[in-house]
Homo-oligomer: A and B are copies of this chain.
């Protein structure tokens, strides 16, 4: 995909309104993004949180949209309510509002009472690189601090699942490192080499590979790179949360390209933007969640 305009067109194919549950809804920008998405007929929102605070924000910001509200002032209970809605099939998407990420995710990832579908939950950022005329998927810069090799494999599996929903059927996946060599001093480079030689039927997985070989054809020519990814990677897998986080945020803050983020691996898509994310990023992420949520 070239840019968010194309992404938006692709996602608009689904005409059906999705039910989105905003957990701890007393957050201004989240409510504003939900209001816009609701007016665009993408979603019908359920707002869980302190009714009084939510209504005050809606009044103050003159947000005018239809919604259902569940009054719950306890943050942990708000998450449990949302989980219940997922289990009862009463919501298609959940979104984090004014609640700390770790508290929000703790109940969701629990093995029996939670709503994991895959082995792990992982974050996927969609970054529009204007000068490259391409959207890259970056994972994981949001959830797993220092993934084990098993978790890395699951991060990759989640990203392949997610890419399929965007019609990227055989994604090219670059396991990023500082260079294309296996360096015994860099554990992740050894792990990447191991992962890359596994059997992947539905993806091209290559690593360790430096980001220049992953995204620049020119560099591949100069370096005489013989790999299957030749500057045309679709998905960039970073070795840990810090490198993924730095890459995603730097791209957003300096490129002027658009961004969206989602959590993959639960029974429903999860919108997990930061409090400081722009309304546009929140709206993009909602749109993305609508596009990839299951048809009813």
Q: Which of B222, B242, B251, B276 sits near A250, CB closer than 8 Å?
A: B251
Q: Which of B130, B176, B222, B241 sits near A276, CB closer than 8 Å?
A: B222
Most chain B CB within a 10 A radius of its CB, from A210, A216, A251, A276: A276
In contact, A276 and B223 (Cβ under 8 angstroms): yes
Contacts of A216 in B (CB 8 A): 253
Say yes or no for A186: interface residue by CB 8 A criterion.
yes
Say yes or no for A159: interface residue by CB 8 A criterion.
no
Given contacts A219-B276, A253-B211, A242 and B145 within 8 Å (CB-CB): no
Question: How many monomers of this chain does the complex have?
Answer: 2
Cα–Cα, bound, A132→B188 (Å): 32
Q: Which of B131, B185, B242 sits near A243, CB closer than 8 Å?
A: B242
Say yes or no for A72: interface residue by CB 8 A criterion.
no
Taking beta carbons and an 8 Å cutoff, which residues of A are in contact with B?
129-132, 141, 145-146, 176-179, 183, 185-186, 188, 210-212, 215-216, 218-219, 222-223, 238-247, 249-251, 253-256, 275-276
Q: List 22 A-B contacts (CB under 8 A).
A: A131-B253, A131-B254, A145-B183, A177-B242, A178-B241, A178-B244, A178-B246, A179-B245, A186-B242, A210-B245, A211-B245, A211-B249, A212-B253, A215-B250, A215-B253, A215-B254, A218-B276, A238-B242, A243-B243, A246-B246, A247-B250, A250-B250
